[in-house]
Structure 1
C-alpha cells in the first residue's frame, strides 16, 4: 500500500470520487470507494473497478465522468509517488 493513501488529502479525494460516482449512478464502484475510506487496503481494488467501468460503461456521460475521476486519481498517485 502506498503511504499516500494515509494522507488526509487523499481521504478528501476518495470522498469526492465516491460522491461523483453516485451522481452518475455508478453505485457499485462508489461503494468500493466509500469502503476504502475506512479500509485503505481496498483503494487499489476500487481503482481497478473504476478502470473496468471506464471500459464498460453504458452511458457516455457516466463513462466520461469515470474516466476523468480515474485520471485525477492517477495524477494524484503519480505526483505523490515522486515526492515520497
Structure 2
C-alpha cells in the first residue's frame, strides 16, 4: 500500500505555517483513504450512536471542516 495523492490543498496552503497542525487526506494505491487528524477516541467513543461501534484497532479521528471540504473536489464519485 502506497500514498498515491493528496486530496485537496496541503496544510501549508491552508495556512499551517509551522506544520504543527497538519490534518490531511490521502488516496492510497488500493483505493482506500488515509486521514491524518486528531485522535479523539477517548472523548467521543462513549457518544457514538447506538448502531455504531469501533474495533480495538480503530480510532475516532477528527479533521477540520476546512480540510475535508478542500479534499471534496478530489474525492472520486466511484
Query: Shared topology, TM-score over 0.5?
Result: no
Return the structure number with greater helix share: 1
Q: Could you state the TM-score of these two structures normalised by the residue count of structure 1?
A: 0.31
Return the structure number with greater strand share: 2
Name the structure, 1 or 2, with higher relative contact order (CA <8 Å, separation 6+).
2
Q: Could you state the TM-score of these two structures normalised by the residue count of structure 2?
A: 0.33
